[in-house]
Amino acid sequence: MTNAASSERTADVQEEDLRRVWANPTGWRYWTSVNNTQIGLWYGSAAFIFMLFAGVLALLVRLQLAVPDNDFLSADMFNQAFTLHGTVMMFLFAVPIFEAVAIFLLPSMLGARELPFPRLSAFGFWSFALGGVFVCGSIFFNAAPNSGWFMYPPLATDKEYSGIGADIWLLGLSFIEVASIAAAVEIIVGIMKCRAPGMRINMMPLFAWYLLIVGGMILFAFPPLIAGDILFEMERMFDWPFFDAKRGGDPLLWQHLFWIFGHPEVYIIFLPAIALMAMIVPTFAQRPIIGYSWIVLAAVGTGFLSFGLWVHHMFTTGLPQISLAFFSAASEAVAIPTGVQIFVFIATMLAGRVIFSLPMLFGAGGLAIFVIGGLTGVMVALAPFDWQAHDTYFVVAHLHYVLIGGMLFPVLAGIYYYYPLINARKLSDRLGKIAFWLMFIGFNVAFFPMHLTGLRGMPRRVFTYPAEVGWDLLNLISTVGAFIFATGVALVVIDILRPKHREPKGKMNPWNAGTLEWISEPEENWGVRSIPIIKSRYPLWDQPGLIDDINKGRFYLPDTQDGRRETLVTSVLDADPVQCLRVGGTSYLTIISALSLGGVFIALTFHWWLLTVLCGIVTLGAILIWLWTGTSEIPKRNERDIGLGVTLPLYVSGPASVGWWAMFITMAGDGTAFASLMFGYFFYWTIHPDFTAGLPGPGAGWPIVAVALFALAWLAMLLARHANANDRVWMARLSLLGSVPITLAACLAGLAGPYLHDMQPTVHVYPAIVWVISLWTVLHGLVAIIMQLYCLAGSFAGRLTASYDADLRNVMLYWHFLMITAMISFGVLGLFPEVR
């Protein structure tokens, strides 16, 4: 046999092995898959279905408003319909669809086999699906939330009015927020650490830049809402008066926490849509993007500025004018980076020869709509104008122009563009064009008149209106437009669903795009056949023969070892290979933990305490088994030859490992939630002359003891890590064991302050906020104890040793955060009332 022939045979064998290792299970076990490409598809489809459901609700709303004095829907049904519409569109469609697209596209776009935590993605998906069905289903039992998608108290805290709907909203969405944060962890670590060798940060696809920023935004935007949810649920469940003005609470705190989340959220939605455009425009201009760095500027700039805008949703709440002015100014500033992106696209199109295909049509139409919405945005960002327009249909018009133009149209552009990656065929050009024009015209017919209805004074969220006030014609036009728009959407759905197996398969990369995601083949699960070396921003244009070399397995990791799924970890800036990472494979554990965690939230909604505890135990167990069997496994060999003469370690720990980064990112989000609770504490301090209302505080003594004990436990942990690293095993075990009771004592000391001073959380907001902050910290302490015991068990089981210490180092990182949390929380609770 010749050399060439034999190497070809090896390649074939390797390919078979790879296919087997990456194969999804068949039959009903298919649903236990954890492959990111698969999860991305499920995620996207689920989000799309939720969108259609919310769309139907919108049509009901429009029917009710078509004519004056209509009684098609009852007032209460109307309230449920628009609340669920907004909630589902924002939480179950707009954000998740991008997590879906990202999870689907990123592996091949980055030239990776897989993102680092596929099981986490699966967990996120199942959480999302369960939470979504729970929230949507409520309307069929006449139990949907009915106080608007932003759930303002005191309306939403009024149990008489809001019934169980508000709890469904709070708990269902908290659960989904967990899924979002899981996705953010996956996306951030994936983009930073799993790019193909050579893909330095100046060569990352723009989509990845945007998603990196969006991941960061999720981390700082969602936790304030989670903190708000906690306060809200404590009020609804146990009558702790956080938003009850009679007992020192303040509904405005909810508005702050909601919009600190809510405004960044609109950019969390908008940026990924623009990211899709940043992939599509260069392809159809057939040239690299002009102003790559400018796009990075815009993405990062928008990401930051969007956190300085939240009060523009609160212009009419009577905040000091100087505060309003700060936020008004920042709201105008954000128009700059937003504009930059649009100019970059226009410049790229002008410089290339544009092929005006369907994705471009949707993209351009969307941007045109978005620009109008941006203009009305700049109008309502001026406080005096907003005092007139707030809570009228003008705002409804604004938000739909930005959301549909800035997100729905780009998503559809993305679907038309990327569909060949799912099915190897394109969607119909003819149907698509008809759909586009129906949607474009229908949209403007529906929403443009709303500017006028708003200026004529029609408030949003009224279920009907009298005939004399001059709103009837405009409303009727809007309803007609809505149905035209819906017809367009229906055509898209038909086009996606119609069977296509009789059509011939198209060729790979049908649009002749330059970026790496187009190497992925719909039938294969392995992300890439071999992991290439990247030398250009548009490798498919600039690296001749690349696809062939990848598919013949001529690059890194063409083979498998030990039957494990593997991918490469590379350095952040220059993407030098640093580790061969073994990622988790198919597993039930993800579904079990997601479903049981869902059980916790659902049982809480109905106050089934016993079931809550049971589900909690199952969740904890499942997660522990998942961690024990699926992470930080000690490999048989230390190193792995990944081909092309490179050998990499299989196990790394500390900041070099992806697990450490995941912990860091999670804790950054956790810290933000904690900061939001502290914000609440000081908020109450500012609004009252004496925020303790003369009630007893926790005193200074016990909180100081708590901090001291936490510090002691933290030192013991440091000692444990140090001893373990020096192979002084017993020393490490003893300090681990010793830190357990100290942590427990610290927790008890933390609770002793409010408990021994008989602070009654239902009496006034001051004791309530002290209790919440103490409980938050103590709960983290209890989790820390579980981690200590886990490490101890690991040490005895021989999976935690001097050179294999990833678990201990991650736990140590958790402890650093815990130490800061404990210092701030007990420091403030104990000392602030004394010194103020």
Partner 1 sequence: MRLIPREVETLWTLFTGPVVWALHFLACYAAAAIYCAKASEAPFSFDALRLSLFAITVVALVAILAAAWLSWRQWGFGSGDPPHDAPTRHDRLLFQGFATLLLSGLSFIAVIFVSVPLLFIEVCAR
DSSP 758: T
How many C-beta atoms surround the C-beta of residue 388 within 10 A? Answer: 13
Select from 374, 485, 502, 493 the least CA-distant residue to 437: 485
Q: Which of 574-587 are b and which e, b meaning 16 or more Cβ less than 10 Å from the residue's Cβ?
A: ebebbbbbbbbbbb
Output 18 or 330, the one with its CB closest to ligand HEM: 330
By a kind-dependent CB cut-off of 5 to 8 A, residue 320 interacts, out of partner 1, Cu ion, ligand HEM, none, with partner 1
Q: Does residue 256 bind Cu ion (CB under 5 A)?
A: no
For the bound state, the minimum distance from the C-beta of residue 327 to partner 1, rounded and expressed in Å, comes to 8
For the bound state, the minimum distance from the C-beta of residue 390 to partner 1, rounded and expressed in Å, comes to 17
By a kind-dependent CB cut-off of 5 to 8 A, residue 270 interacts, out of ligand HEM, Cu ion, partner 1, none, with ligand HEM
For the bound state, the minimum distance from the C-beta of residue 266 to ligand HEM, rounded and expressed in Å, comes to 3
Select from 591, 630, 424 the least CA-distant residue to 42: 591
For the bound state, the minimum distance from the C-beta of residue 293 to partner 1, rounded and expressed in Å, comes to 5
Region of 139-147, 261-269, 736-744, 798-806 interacting with Cu ion (CB under 5 A) = 261-269
Contact (CB, 8 A) for 704 and 744: no
Q: In 134-215, where do the E strands start and end? A: none
By a kind-dependent CB cut-off of 5 to 8 A, residue 736 interacts, out of ligand HEM, partner 1, Cu ion, none, with none
Q: Does residue 377 bind ligand HEM (CB under 6 A)?
A: yes
Q: Does residue 236 bind ligand HEM (CB under 6 A)?
A: no
For the bound state, the minimum distance from the C-beta of residue 380 to Cu ion, rounded and expressed in Å, comes to 9
For the bound state, the minimum distance from the C-beta of residue 386 to partner 1, rounded and expressed in Å, comes to 16
Q: Does residue 263 bind Cu ion (CB under 5 A)?
A: yes
What sign for the dihedral angle of Cα 307, 312, 314, 317?
Answer: positive
Residue numbers 327-366 binding ligand HEM by CB under 6 A? 331, 334-335, 338
Using Cβ positions, the residue closest to Cu ion within the complex turns out to be: 263
Instruction: Name the pairing type of β-strands 646-649 and 577-582.
Output: unpaired
Bridge partners (DSSP) of residue 580 are 568
For the bound state, the minimum distance from the C-beta of residue 792 to ligand HEM, rounded and expressed in Å, comes to 48
Distance CA 231, CA 240 (A): 8
By a kind-dependent CB cut-off of 5 to 8 A, residue 200 interacts, out of ligand HEM, partner 1, Cu ion, none, with partner 1
DSSP 198: T
Q: Does residue 406 bind ligand HEM (CB under 6 A)?
A: yes
Output 23 or 378, the one with its CB closest to ligand HEM: 378
Distance CA 769, CA 26 (A): 51
Output 200 or 247, the one with its CB closest to partner 1: 200
Output 240 or 327, the one with its CB closest to ligand HEM: 327
Q: In 533-658, where do the E strands start and end? A: 566-570, 577-582, 639-643, 646-649
For the bound state, the minimum distance from the C-beta of residue 4 to partner 1, rounded and expressed in Å, comes to 30
Phi and psi of 642, rounded to 5°? -95, 10
Select from 304, 338, 277, 269 the least CA-distant residue to 98: 269
Q: CA angle, corner 220, sides to 214 and 226, nearest 5? A: 120
Output 255 or 692, the one with its CB closest to ligand HEM: 255
Region of 174-182, 385-393, 621-629, 703-711 interacting with ligand HEM (CB under 6 A) = 385-393
* CA distances in angstroms from 35 to 21, 56, 558, 562, 583, listed in the order given: 11, 32, 18, 18, 10
List 381, 415, 707, 765, residue binding ligand HEM (CB under 6 A):
381
For the bound state, the minimum distance from the C-beta of residue 677 to ligand HEM, rounded and expressed in Å, comes to 24
Output 331 or 724, the one with its CB closest to Cu ion: 331
Q: Does residue 399 bind ligand HEM (CB under 6 A)?
A: yes
By a kind-dependent CB cut-off of 5 to 8 A, residue 481 interacts, out of partner 1, Cu ion, ligand HEM, none, with none
By a kind-dependent CB cut-off of 5 to 8 A, residue 288 interacts, out of partner 1, Cu ion, ligand HEM, none, with partner 1
Output 301 or 750, the one with its CB closest to partner 1: 301
Q: Which amino acid is at 44?
A: G
Instruction: Name the pairing type of β-strands 646-649 and 566-570.
Output: unpaired
Element (H, E) at 488: helix 472-497
By a kind-dependent CB cut-off of 5 to 8 A, residue 292 interacts, out of Cu ion, ligand HEM, partner 1, none, with partner 1
Footprint on this chain of partner 1 (rule: CB under 8 A)? 192, 198, 200-203, 288, 291-294, 296-297, 300-301, 303-305, 307-308, 318-323, 325-330, 332-333, 336-337, 534-537, 572-574, 686-687
SS3 642: strand
Please, which residues have CB within 8 angstroms of residue 62's CB and are 6 or more apart in sequence?
446, 478, 479, 482, 483
For the bound state, the minimum distance from the C-beta of residue 541 to ligand HEM, rounded and expressed in Å, comes to 32
For the bound state, the minimum distance from the C-beta of residue 515 to ligand HEM, rounded and expressed in Å, comes to 25
Q: Which amino acid is at 12?
A: D
For the bound state, the minimum distance from the C-beta of residue 273 to partner 1, rounded and expressed in Å, comes to 21
User: By rule CB under 6 A, what string of x and - marks binding of each residue 288-317 to ligand HEM?
Assistant: ------------------------xx----
Contact (CB, 8 A) for 289 and 282: yes
Output 226 or 399, the one with its CB closest to Cu ion: 399
By a kind-dependent CB cut-off of 5 to 8 A, residue 333 interacts, out of partner 1, Cu ion, ligand HEM, none, with partner 1
SS3 571: coil
Distance CA 636, CA 562 (A): 9
* CA distances in angstroms from 241 to 597, 651, 821, listed in the order given: 27, 50, 24
The alpha helices in 72-117, defined as continuous H runs, are 75-87, 95-109
Q: Does residue 145 bind ligand HEM (CB under 6 A)?
A: no
DSSP string of 524-584? --SS-SSBPPP-SSSHHHHSTTHHHHHHTT-SB--S-STT--EEEEE-TTT--EEEEEEPP
Output 113 or 263, the one with its CB closest to Cu ion: 263
Output 266 or 732, the one with its CB closest to ligand HEM: 266
Using Cβ positions, the residue closest to ligand HEM within the complex turns out to be: 377
For the bound state, the minimum distance from the C-beta of residue 316 to ligand HEM, rounded and expressed in Å, comes to 7
How many C-beta atoms surround the C-beta of residue 40 within 10 A? Answer: 23
Q: Which amino acid is at 647?
A: T
For the bound state, the minimum distance from the C-beta of residue 613 to partner 1, rounded and expressed in Å, comes to 40
Output 326 or 356, the one with its CB closest to partner 1: 326
Distance CA 244, CA 692 (A): 15
Region of 198-206, 217-225, 373-381, 670-678 interacting with ligand HEM (CB under 6 A) = 373-381
Output 21 or 266, the one with its CB closest to ligand HEM: 266
Select from 791, 765, 788 the least CA-distant residue to 714: 788
Angle between helices 321-333 and 358-380 (to 10 degrees): 160
Do you find a cis peptide bond into 449, omega within 30 degrees of 0? no
Output 315 or 526, the one with its CB closest to ligand HEM: 315
What residues line the site for Cu ion (CB under 5 A)? 263
What residues line the site for ligand HEM (CB under 6 A)? 266, 269-270, 312-313, 331, 334-335, 338, 374, 377-378, 380-381, 386, 389-390, 395, 398-399, 402-403, 406-407
